[in-house]
Amino acid sequence: MENFVRNTKLNIEEEIKRIEQQPIETLDKIKKIIDVIQVSLALLKTAVIGYQFQNPEEEILFFKVWKPQISGLLMFYVRLYQIEKNRADKSLSVQCRYLKMELENIQKSFLNNSFYDYYRAGQTVLDNQYFIRANYDILSDIHYHLLDRDSSFTTLHDSSVAMILANQHLIEYISGEIDSLSEKLQLKFISIVDSKLLQWTDSKVALVEFIYALYAGKCFNNGNTSLKDIAFCCEALFNIEIGDFYRIFLEIRNRKKSRTQFLDKLKDKIQKMMDELDG
């Protein structure tokens, strides 16, 4: 059985490499890979049903190690398809936020998980209960809805191991994608700054009024951002040196008429634009 599983894994890996080289869309590649793994898992199930394990240790090894390596791969690609579908055609920043949220959710799945603690610690005392088919109890199975829960091919926690392996693959993949997107976003920002694509052409006083409005409105990090950091980012992004923005703000506060002249102007302009679009 060990050789059969090893050959099955090798075949899957070869098919994945072949599919990855095809000039087709990412989602189509993932669907083809999922089909390959499903077929392989069905063949593995047929082989197991017709096989007599030599002893409980071999059965435990199959359901704790061998099967999860393949079923976990299926779980990984199914989840990967969902992730790639959800991030398709989104901006770099939206993709980055989405992937960070997914990564956080996956990492949370390991918290307060007694089986994960058992598996990670390399414990074996409950293996007979967890990985012998005769001891399978669907009422204790939190993964009863996943994959094929045929009692001839299911133990209490083989799917738990598969889920752990799938999540580990996802963490590695998503972390890599976040790093790649972050680098692209940083390069894009640097390109905007270096090319002076956003050159502030209104007055410094107007910009200071805008910066203080952002600060007062707690628009960044729920207000946990310093005024200096906001000013620095605006200076870098808009290619302008503000100077003593505290002194400028004091001048704004001392205005005799409206103290928010720039914001009032912006309000009038956007209302006029919306009125024109409505008309």
Q: How confident is the model at residue 151 (pLDDT cuts 50, 70, 90)?
A: confident
Residue 251's alpha-carbon distances to 137, 143, 208, 243, 247, in angstroms, are: 75, 65, 11, 14, 6
Are residues 214 and 108 both part of a single domain? no
pLDDT tens column, 119-149: 999 999 999 999 999 987 777 766 655 545 6
> Which two structure tokens, joined as six digits, stand for 91?
């901006």
**Phi, psi dihedral angles at 224 (to 5 degrees):** -90, 50
Which residue among 193, 211, 226 closes a domain?
193
pLDDT tens column, 188-243: 888 877 888 888 999 999 999 999 999 999 999 999 999 999 999 889 888 889 98
Instruction: Return the pLDDT at 196.
Output: 82
Are residues 250 and 272 both part of a single domain? yes
Are residues 12 and 48 both part of a single domain? yes
Specify the number of domains making up the chain: 2
Are residues 210 and 110 both part of a single domain? no
Instruction: Return the pLDDT at 54.
Output: 93
pTM of the shown model: 0.76
Domain housing 214? 202-276
Question: Would you say residue 55 has pLDDT above 80?
Answer: yes
Question: Would you say residue 48 has pLDDT above 80?
Answer: yes
Instruction: Return the pLDDT at 37.
Output: 97
Instruction: Return the pLDDT at 2.
Output: 86
* Size of the chain, expressed as the number of residues it contains: 279
Are residues 145 and 214 both part of a single domain? no
Instruction: Return the pLDDT at 149.
Output: 66
Over residues 159-185, the mean pLDDT reads 94
Which residue among 193, 210, 238 closes a domain?
193
Are residues 213 and 114 both part of a single domain? no
One DSSP character per residue, 160-177 reads: HHHHHHHHHHHHHHHHHH
Are residues 237 and 269 both part of a single domain? yes
Instruction: Return the pLDDT at 109.
Output: 87
> Which two structure tokens, joined as six digits, stand for 270?
């956007």
pLDDT tens column, 27-40: 999 999 999 999 99
Instruction: Return the pLDDT at 239.
Output: 87
Are residues 40 and 3 both part of a single domain? yes
Instruction: Return the pLDDT at 186.
Output: 87
Are residues 121 and 171 both part of a single domain? yes
Are residues 67 and 160 both part of a single domain? yes
Percentage of residues of the chain with pLDDT beyond 90: 74
Are residues 148 and 223 both part of a single domain? no
> Which two structure tokens, joined as six digits, stand for 111?
């918290």
Which residue among 193, 219, 244 closes a domain?
193
Residue 244's alpha-carbon distances to 100, 186, 201, 216, 250, in angstroms, are: 37, 28, 18, 18, 10
Q: Quote the DSSP letter at residue 124.
A: -
Are residues 116 and 207 both part of a single domain? no
- Closest listed residue to residue 85, CA positions, set 25, 170, 27: 27
